[in-house]
Amino acid sequence: MPAMRARVLIVDDEPIKRSILADELPAAGYTVETASNPLAAEPLLAKAAFDVVLTDLRMPGRDGLSFLKELRERRPDQAVMVMTAYGTVETAVEAMKLGAFDYIQKPFSTEELLLKLDRILSFQGLQRENKALREALGHHGMEAQIIGRSEAIRQVLARIHAVAGTDSTVLITGESGTGKELAARVIHETSHRSAGPFVAVSCAALPRELVEAELFGHEAGAFTGATKRRVGRFELADGGTLLLDDVDDIPLAVQPKLLRAIQERRFERLGGEEAVRVNIRVIATTKRPLSALVASGEFREDLYYRLNVVPLELPPLRERGEDVVLLTEHFLRRAGVRLNRDAPRLTPGALAKLKVHPWPGNVRELEHYVERLVATTQRPELDAADLPELAAAGGAEGIVSLALNGRSRVALTDVVAEVEERLILWALERSGGSLTQAAEMLGVPRSTLQYKLSRLAPSRFPS
């Protein structure tokens, strides 16, 4: 007997068959409604939900195939089984292609119908269980990676939950190291697209002359070296989520095509003429305020508004003081497993010292710092005095000094460029020329540092 008296709607122009099924199916535990044609079924469908719609394919007036098409358009999850007369199996196959779950050939016994109904209901039960499992894994497994109990992080999680069930474009902002890509992955994994691909593309790491080809793909012969067709990131993300990481680095010349692709979910490969359509969700991150780039003419205003449908700002770690201890303990356990050694225990004094540190590199800096402790420490316990590297750490105001007395104007871009260049020089000198170590010291991804180097004077930064 089906659980909770599953509801079945029978649509058939034969009154005798309707009457027999209406009498026999309730005895097997079903609630049954009947209609003589699709038009008569409409008010029943509008009034209540049915687990299964059983419809004949050949009825006077409106045939069952057109009824099936409309049902699938209006109710994509509606299970439909079609009844077909002997010799019209081809029509039943066509109905299966249109989305019917199963078909049954007349004349049939009630026992045969009950077996097929039971199969449909069992499949629906599995679907519900799988959906519940995906949601449980998403909301608990993925969120476990966004660690924290602070009010700032609670607001972020609430925002993620609110937007995950939609296909709205999300623009994630925040300082380097705050976990923008992780937030994007959580949105994807807790959405209905979780079974689809998650394609992350670092816009900062793409060679400027190949950005369009990387995003949209290219046809053979599109440019020198394009010997065969290549699928771009937009196509690879079809059915899932595309993350445009550091979208602020997209060249101005490519932005019109990016805008159109996001608006229409349609584009042409480089060197191609055929339109490619994709079903994707777009999430973008930026390390620089896009509104400022719009004001300076470096970013299209219409693209900014298209990306900034749902803004999500990640707080810096210095505003999440109470989360530092939780994150430190998590990173200690993870580093211990990864390095196959016992992680040291930090005393309350050591944790307090970590908690008040400003962490300019945010969560990423804390993670790397904890890993260094595990990798270099032989002692089972560390106190505040055992964390000497933090003593000299400070915010930007302790690093950069400005002589502004007597000035009436300051070229902001020139000052920022000069300070950035000096900091890059400092990090490269301290790291012995290692880009990886220099990027870690500056709290930026290696790809970001590499890109910044490419924009500075080659004579000062030889490759």
State the Cα–Cα distance between residues 316 and 363, nearest whole angstrom: 8
Domain ranges for the chain, please list them.
Answer: 7-132, 146-313, 317-397, 401-455
Nearest Cα neighbor of 361 from 412, 422, 427, 310 is 427
Q: Is the dihedral of CA 42, 44, 46, 51 positive or negative?
A: negative
Residue 180: its pLDDT value, please? 93
Q: Taking the domain 317-397, which CATH number applies?
A: 1.10.8.60
Question: For residue 125, what are its two tokens?
Answer: 């039960």
Q: What is the pLDDT of residues 39-64, one digit of tens each?
A: 899 899 888 889 899 998 888 777 77
Question: For residue 21, what are its two tokens?
Answer: 């099924």
Give how far Cα 226 sits from Cα of 145, 214, 230, 267, Å. 40, 12, 8, 19
Question: For residue 267, what are its two tokens?
Answer: 């584009």
State the Cα–Cα distance between residues 172 and 174, nearest whole angstrom: 7
Q: In tens digits, what is the pLDDT along the chain, a chain of 463 residues?
A: 454 578 999 999 888 888 899 989 998 889 999 998 888 998 998 888 898 999 988 887 777 788 888 888 888 778 899 888 765 667 777 787 788 888 888 888 888 899 889 888 877 776 665 555 444 444 444 444 788 888 899 899 889 988 988 899 999 998 888 999 999 999 999 888 988 999 999 988 888 778 888 899 888 877 777 778 888 899 999 999 999 999 999 999 999 999 999 999 999 888 888 888 999 999 999 988 898 889 989 899 999 999 999 999 999 998 888 899 999 999 998 888 888 888 899 999 999 989 888 888 899 999 999 998 998 888 899 898 888 566 344 445 445 656 555 566 777 777 787 788 888 877 877 776 777 778 878 878 777 887 787 776 544 444 4
pTM over cut 0.85: no
Q: Dump strand ranges (E) for 246-354.
A: 266-268, 275-277, 281-286, 310-313, 345-346
State the Cα–Cα distance between residues 121 and 136, nearest whole angstrom: 22
State the Cα–Cα distance between residues 206 and 210, nearest whole angstrom: 7
Whether 240 and 279 have beta carbons less than 8 Å apart is answered as no
- DSSP letter, residue 343: P
Residue 452: its pLDDT value, please? 80
Q: Which residue has the tokens 């059983």?
A: 54
Phi/psi at 157 (5° precision) = -65, -40
Q: Which residues, listed in sequence order, are joined to residue 396 by a DSSP beta bridge? A: none
Whether 259 and 300 have beta carbons less than 8 Å apart is answered as yes
Nearest Cα neighbor of 304 from 238, 252, 233, 242 is 252
Phi/psi at 365 (5° precision) = -65, -40
Domains 146-313 and 401-455 share a fold: no
Residue 233: its pLDDT value, please? 92
Question: For residue 355, what are its two tokens?
Answer: 């908690």
Q: Is the dihedral of CA 76, 80, 85, 87 positive or negative?
A: positive
State the Cα–Cα distance between residues 215 and 58, nearest whole angstrom: 49
**Candidate CATH numbers 3.40.30.10, 3.40.50.300, 3.30.465.10, 3.30.70.580; the one for domain 146-313:** 3.40.50.300
**Candidate CATH numbers 1.10.340.30, 1.10.240.10, 1.10.10.60, 3.30.310.50; the one for domain 401-455:** 1.10.10.60
Phi/psi at 300 (5° precision) = -70, 135
Nearest Cα neighbor of 206 from 247, 166, 170 is 247
Give how far Cα 306 sits from Cα of 101, 262, 266, Å. 39, 8, 15
Q: What is the pLDDT of residues 418-427, one digit of tens each?
A: 788 888 877 8
State the Cα–Cα distance between residues 357 and 342, nearest whole angstrom: 25
Type of residue at 350: A
What's the count of helices (H) and strands (E) in the chain, helices before strands? 18, 14
Residue 274: its pLDDT value, please? 85
Q: What is the pLDDT of residues 93-129, one digit of tens each?
A: 778 778 888 888 888 888 889 988 988 887 777 666 5
Whether 331 and 324 have beta carbons less than 8 Å apart is answered as no
- DSSP letter, residue 142: I
Residue 234: its pLDDT value, please? 93
What number of other Cβ atoms are within 10 A of residue 415's Cβ? 12
Domain 7-132 has CATH 3.40.50.2300: yes
Taking each helix axis as running N to C, give the angle between helix 110-136 and helix 15-24, from 0 to 180 degrees, rounded to the nearest 10.
Answer: 60
Taking each helix axis as running N to C, give the angle between helix 64-74 and helix 38-47, from 0 to 180 degrees, rounded to the nearest 10.
Answer: 20
Question: For residue 43, what are its two tokens?
Answer: 């008010």
Nearest Cα neighbor of 323 from 83, 150, 101 is 150
Taking each helix axis as running N to C, give the angle between helix 348-356 and helix 321-339, from 0 to 180 degrees, rounded to the nearest 10.
Answer: 120
Type of residue at 151: E
